Chain A
Amino acid sequence: MTLAHPERTEPERRPLGDIALVDLLDRLLGAGVVLAGDVVISLAGVDLVQVRLHALITSVRADMVGTSARAEASHDG
């Protein structure tokens, strides 16, 4: 369920813009019980989201290249 402020109307959303999906991936990749299985993925969960989705983000949102560059610069700091 969502209780946003009533005046706020949601803009149209492409699949990537689904907060619920990002919430889910945050939890499935960044939380939960981490038991090293036999199939090893070397990246930590949060990195997995950032790194694996990076290509998709930049290709889908090429219009925001400037923002991406700034965001990455601040990640490094």
Chain B
Amino acid sequence: MKIPLKYIVRNLGTRKLTTGITVLGVALVVFVFAAVLMMAYGVQKTLVATGSNDNVIVARKAANGEISSIIDRVTADIILSLPNIAKTPEGRPLASGEPVVIINLEKLGAGGVSNVTVRGVSPQAFSLRPQVKLKAGRIFRTGARELVAGTAIESRFAGAKIGDMVRFAGDNWTVVGTFDSDGSGFDSEMWGDSNQLLDAFNRTSFSTLTLRLERPEAFHDFAAAFEKDQRLQQFEAKVERRFFEEQSELMAGFIRILGIFVTVIFSAGATIGATITMYAAVANRTVEVGTLRALGFRRRSVLAAFLTESLVLSLIGGLVGLFFASFLQLFSISTLNFGSFSELAFSFALSPSIAISSLLFAIAMGLIGGFLPSVRAARLNIVSALRSS
């Protein structure tokens, strides 16, 4: 394209108001687009971080989430006798049979009550999940009605600070510590001694069983042995990371569908805005186009010039939108995760692919919006264009 870039860029500066408005329109759309993708990715990232590739979690096949899964002690023992399971220094299997329940706690601020996951863990749970670290206070004592709260629960719910009492199952449970799990789903949970919780709820069965394999590669052998055992037919073993990732799929999927549907509509609106602006630009510069053509510039150069103008416009809008969207990373949301039916705190997370998609999206708007006006400019007849002022 022989027409100089400075011609294109400077033209954007002549009608500042209308250019600004169009850029703003594109920026808004890209902002929402990026925000939605960042939300979905944030949910996934949090949940994926929850599970590790080193651990295997066993749940009932038909269960929709941990709370509706049941594993009785006998079955648990059978599973723990399978080969390839890592051992503690004392020679016991590195595993945690966990009853998982939901309790209701009051939300701070906005009020209202929401579901919070309470997980009963064995002492090995902390070795199994090294990302979980005590932030304040201490771990609950085995045999006591004590709980530790994840940071997201401690900061968002009433009665989850150290020293507070949570009342359920006819008893008061004292919160004795806060833990941090590096932004994973465990931050939205409260943990207590597995046996204490089972006793309080008059249960004998766990919800799930989490264990560590000797080596992550041993999973295939472990799974094969698992499937062969007739007594374990109703259950399935999954790599922990995969298990929690699946918990996020429903939620992340929904956010993405809704978000993309809505954003595509918005983008149609913004694209039309860009088209209107570009048509106006062509109309205003008809004499110019005639002059350029008379001087010897080709039709395709004219097309390219206007298309580039539209692209620059939308790209600027895209960058502005992305810029503001990146600030969303400072915010975190807590909402009900459809997969586990309890609270999950997550942040907006930006990934390079989200950034690139957003910019490509902006570029697409510019191309589509600017196409027809650019074609019109290119098709102008020289004589009529020169005559048109």
Say whether A associates with B.
Answer: no
